[in-house]
Amino acid sequence: MKVLLGLILGILIGAAGFWLLTSADGRARVHDTGVQIQTAAKSASDAVQEKLRVLDLRPQDVKDDLARSGQVVRRKARDAGKAIADATADARITAAIKGKFLADRNLSTLSISVNTTDGIVTLSGNAPSAEAISHAMLLAMETDGVREVISTLQVKPPPKQG
């Protein structure tokens, strides 16, 4: 009985979806929604690119710093005077950054080590690309309480499978 009811309900939903996509009004709604999504995505992408530019975290900037000194260091000017003294604040910062890395499918929390001392975050380990290093540093810089981010991450592509 449940299977039959589920089958009927599935057929009705499929028919309604087919009607929506084949009617002129439905196509217009789907198109308008797609345009809105594209506009929002472009705006978000532009905002991220601007932040990367302002903080000198574009992939080429990271590559240049890695080639020059083997590490990438960026400071937040407005927060430089606010020192974070207690160890619990540093632990909260580290946990917040690791949480951001865990939520991001392009970054591996197993390959990136995060250490925080007095609001200064050090990222070490391996990343698949300079773009990933930029992204990791941006996520760290956007975390409350972070005064400076130092990256000694090295570009090491993931092993090929198969």
Give the position of tokens 């039959």: 4
- Count how many Cα atoms sit within 13 Å of the Cα of residue 155 in the half-sphere of its side chain: 17
Residues 13 and 41 placed together within one structural domain of the fold: yes
Residues 50 and 9 placed together within one structural domain of the fold: yes
User: What is the rounded average pLDDT of the residues 116-142?
Assistant: 91
Residue 115, pLDDT above cutoff 60:
yes
Residues 100 and 60 placed together within one structural domain of the fold: yes
CA 49 to chain centre: 12
Q: Which domain holds residue 105?
A: 56-162
Residues 28 and 96 placed together within one structural domain of the fold: no
Predicted confidence at residue 91, as pLDDT, reads 87
Residues 68 and 99 placed together within one structural domain of the fold: yes
Whole-prediction pTM value? 0.53
- Count how many Cα atoms sit within 13 Å of the Cα of residue 159 in the half-sphere of its side chain: 3
Distance from C-alpha of 13 to C-alpha of 19, rounded to nearest angstrom: 10
Residues 80 and 151 placed together within one structural domain of the fold: yes
Residues 70 and 96 placed together within one structural domain of the fold: yes
Domain count, the chain: 2
Residues 124 and 161 placed together within one structural domain of the fold: yes
User: What is the rounded average pLDDT of the residues 80-85?
Assistant: 46
Residues 60 and 44 placed together within one structural domain of the fold: no
Residues 144 and 66 placed together within one structural domain of the fold: yes
Predicted confidence at residue 81, as pLDDT, reads 47
Predicted confidence at residue 30, as pLDDT, reads 53
Distance from C-alpha of 141 to C-alpha of 125, rounded to nearest angstrom: 18
Residues 68 and 137 placed together within one structural domain of the fold: yes
| 13-57 pLDDT, tens digit each | 766 666 655 665 555 555 555 666 667 667 767 777 777 777 778
Q: What is the mean pLDDT of the chain?
A: 77
